[in-house]
Amino acid sequence: MTAERLLELARGELGVTEHPRGSNRVKYNTDYYGREVSGSGYPWCCVFVWWLFQRAQAAQLFFGGERTAYCPALLAYHKKQWVKGEYQPGDVIFFNFSGRNAAAHVGICEKWDGSMITTIDGNTGEGNEANGGAVMRRTRNKKYIMGAYRPAYRKEETMTQLQFDNLMADWLARQSERPESPWGKMAEAMRAGITDGSRPQSFATREEVATMIVAAKL
């Protein structure tokens, strides 16, 4: 599972809110506890992150596949994967808004520019950073960041244009070396002056096709 896949899932949840407001009654808590819950004892920013990894079928990347709704416990478990300062999309970011040492909130990094971080969080809001009741995209100053852990995501498989061009050229070269099929009519086409008979198993360009069509009509 890649970091981008997790972020795609998170973006798909933007706008989800608890109902009624202030109740902590939300689908992520229902999935986590196995029943509908409500009340002040069920904050869900950490539960939201758990839910994302569950839905991404990458539960092992969150708390070793176990469950926790407590940010400090999640932070302590992943200390060996701790990063500070050079954040990347998909990092699990821990916040504290009061200047204390305990993690009060958690979200998923979407963008970092060295001073401001954009995350997608559960249970946040304009009026309450860490218990606002909604899934939102938030941009905050680095002073609120405690640090992050970086899950062992699978790296994105990328290919440069040059790599693609080289692979395509190699494939076409190998195709051109393949002999004509037994049912081919290259000999007849050559005698009719339609083609020179080279590269019988390779692709023809539009230019070559047009030339062959015109030659066939002459």
pLDDT reported for residue 157: 65
> Crossing angle, helix 3-11 and helix 45-55, to 10 degrees?
120
| Mean local confidence (pLDDT), 32-61 | 98
Q: Among 183, 193, 184, 185, which residue's Cα sits nearest to residue 213?
A: 193
pLDDT tens digits, residue range 126-185? 999 999 999 999 999 999 999 999 999 998 767 778 878 888 888 888 877 888 877 777
Model confidence at 26, pLDDT cuts 50, 70, 90, reads very high
Average pLDDT, the chain: 92
Residue 69 has pLDDT above 90, yes or no: yes
Residue 139 C-alpha from the chain's centroid: 19
Question: What distances in angstroms separate CA 207 from CA 3, 55, 79, 178, 188, one per listed residue?
Answer: 44, 50, 61, 22, 21
pLDDT tens digits, residue range 71-107? 999 999 999 999 999 999 999 999 999 988 899 999 9
| Mean local confidence (pLDDT), 18-37 | 98
Task: Considering only CA atoms, give the Rg of the chain.
Answer: 28
Residues 141/131, Cβ–Cβ less than 8 Å = no
Question: What distances in angstroms separate CA 8 from CA 29, 58, 62, 110, 155, one per listed residue?
Answer: 20, 14, 17, 10, 15
> Hey, what are 55's tokens?
């839905």
Phi-psi region of 65 (alpha: psi -120 to 50; beta: other; left: phi over 0): left
Residues 186/197, Cβ–Cβ less than 8 Å = yes
